Chain A
Amino acid sequence: MKFTTLLASAAMALGLATGAMAQDKTKVGFVYVGPVGDGGWTYEHNKGRLAVEEEFGDKVETVFVESVPEGPDAERVMTQMALEGADLIFTTSFGYMDPTINVAKKFPNVKFEHATGYKTADNVSVYSARFYEGRAVQGHIAGNMTKSNIIGYIGSYPIPEVIRGINSAYLHAKKVNPDVEFKIVWAYTWFDPAKEADAAKVLIEQGADVILQHTDSTAPQAAAQEAGNVVTFGQASDMSEYAPFPRVSSIIDDWAPYYIARTQAVMDGTWESVNTWDGIREGMVAIGEISDAVPADVKEEALALKAAMAAGEYHPFTGPINKQDGSAWLAEGEVADDGTLAGMNFYIKGLEGDIPQ
């Protein structure tokens, strides 16, 4: 039984190899949730795609489909890509998780890579970045910058990735400013400039003078710029067109090294299903330049915080931390394990409101 499976897969690998040889090119597909020009999340994934093209030149062919809704459409797009001979498909949004698994079942020879999810299969890897490390730096700056002590947070969907970000930012803002308060608005979209702008305006009207966003467009930046005295941070991309103010820093996702490595693995035939979760240390999360609008000492502290995380000396979720309801989560000095972080569905102590179910 085992032997036959081995034979079958060897034959398949051979077939794939010759097939690949016949095509002479490795075809890599990308499924994007927003337009490549969103200036945020999808923009960075597309930069990763372009880096793959640059790295491998003629040996690789990349295709992408942008603005694919998370749902049945995603499945259709992925199936189409697989049918057109893609060897490796990156699906770059949390909501593509089940579609990716479904399509992967139908195409056992095609490798899939799903961003920010947690379901794997023999031909499905998952990869994500430890954005919460960047959120720690943001929270530190935000806590120092706010004068009204109200920080607005535009959430996309109440999923662990977003909740982690809120917790991490809050924790570090609270550390430097015990009076800080978070106001959270759920936009229920990754990318809808009109909704994001409305949410930002409402938060500003309610006194927030720092806006953090977990949505992908630059609309909140524009709203902050109009308001004049509101601090923002670039999300997923540098958003430097709004620097030095309102955008005082940013979290930048750098997918290029990962995309290149995985494409190489497919070419070499060494691709395996893995679960990658890299952070500042590996370079998957970068902190955009902290502008001069931030006082020098705060900037220095923020950079020190970043350096400590890069060196692996500091984990953003280090106890003592209690949950919102007051129950203990992490004891003094205890560090959160990846399993809890990956499924995080609770606020930490001090945050107000409930997570929508």
Chain B
Amino acid sequence: MDLGEINPVLLVASLMVAATPLLLAAIGELVVEKAGVLNLGVEGMMIVGAISGFAISVETGSPWLGFIAAAIGGAVLSLLFVLLTQFALANQVASGLALTLFGLGFSALMGQSYVGIKPPSMGDIHIPLLSDIPVAGPILFQHDPILYVGIAIIAAVWATLKYTRVGLILRAVGENHDAAHALGYKVIKIRIMAILFGGACAGLGGAYISLIRVPQWTEGMTAGVGWIALALVVFASWKPWRVLLGAYLFGGITVLQLNLQAAGVAIPVEYLAMSPYIITILVLVILSADKSSAPASLGRTFHASL
């Protein structure tokens, strides 16, 4: 056992990569839930995004087109959720679960001929000077572009929700859709936009796994990240920066526990494997002691005539 073998700089750099799929999926779901909709289909939208992005980037040779396709793929699947919950007024929990089951099966079908293929590589951004700074360089300036896109989305969601009129309206719809409706806001329309945004983010997160983190396609490769994203939104008290913190914490401990194993630390592997879940939940539960609560209309069906 030699903890000195763990390089903290590389550890931080790789935890950011490990956290990005979770971060993307969770920030999308945060916006959806802020609008008062509970979409449990994150896992399904992620995996569909993963295969859409993989297939398109293999066919076109461009990872960028792949990511765009992934966002579209995730959003298209979330349209199904829109139809079920916003027009047919179906139960959101059941519809979301159905979306996940459907997405897992459908992606396996789409991915039949893509197993074992190498996708084109995106490459890391290398900024002269900045990337060469010791310590900060590898951590901050030597990643793939999508990782920065993820952080940018967090910042944008935070700013939009906090400072803009759009954000205010979105929150109003999520807190009390009847009041928002009475004020003349188009509740259904706003929710549809939020759901599509959530789908696109989940799709991006999925493609990040299949195109950058692994990079390869296999059935069910999102392996539950969508569910963790859902939990993360709740434990982060619907606050964007806490989502980032939670995702990095989770990603960090995931990477750290492998590092500890490789360094020969004498903790049973099973404990190491469960540690990311426990520690992330613990930290976020402690943080959420400030009594911030869920959007009041979360999960409730809205019908204008009622």
Contact = CB atoms under 8 A, between A and B. Distances in A.
Contacts of B116: 37-39, 43, 218
Interface in B253-304: 254-255, 258-259, 261-264, 266, 268-270, 273
Interface in A170-201: 183-186, 188, 191-195, 197-199, 201
A356 B268 contact: yes
Contacts of B255: 198, 202
B266 A199 contact: no
Interface residues of A, number: 37
Contacts of B269: 186, 188, 356
A313 interface: no
A35 B216 contact: no
B6 interface: yes
B124 to A, nearest CB: 10
A186 B216 contact: no
A227 to B, nearest CB: 11
Given A186-B261, A188-B269, A194-B223, A222 B18 contact: no
A43 B5 CA distance: 36
A198 B258 contact: yes
B14 A206 contact: no
Contacts of A252: none
Contacts of B270: 356
A169 interface: no
Interface residues of B, number: 33
B110 to A, nearest CB: 14
A90 to B, nearest CB: 21
Contacts of A222: 118, 214-216
B11 interface: yes
B254 A35 contact: no
B115 interface: yes
A217 interface: yes
Given A194-B223, A206-B7, A217 B216 contact: yes
A183 B223 contact: no
A148 to B, nearest CB: 11
B7 A194 contact: no
Contacts of A198: 18, 254-255, 258
Nearest to B5: A206
B100 interface: no
A9 to B, nearest CB: 43
Nearest to B113: A37
Interface of B: 5-7, 10-11, 14, 18, 115-116, 118, 121, 209, 213-216, 218-219, 221, 223, 254-255, 258-259, 261-264, 266, 268-270, 273
14 contacts: A37-B115, A184-B261, A185-B258, A188-B269, A192-B221, A192-B223, A193-B218, A194-B209, A198-B18, A199-B262, A206-B7, A217-B218, A218-B116, A226-B121
Interface of A: 35-39, 43, 67, 152, 183-186, 188, 191-195, 197-199, 201-203, 205-207, 217-219, 222, 226, 241, 352-354, 356
Please give me the 5 A-B residue pairs with the lowest Cβ-Cβ distance, nearest first. Answer: A37-B115, A37-B116, A202-B258, A39-B116, A205-B10
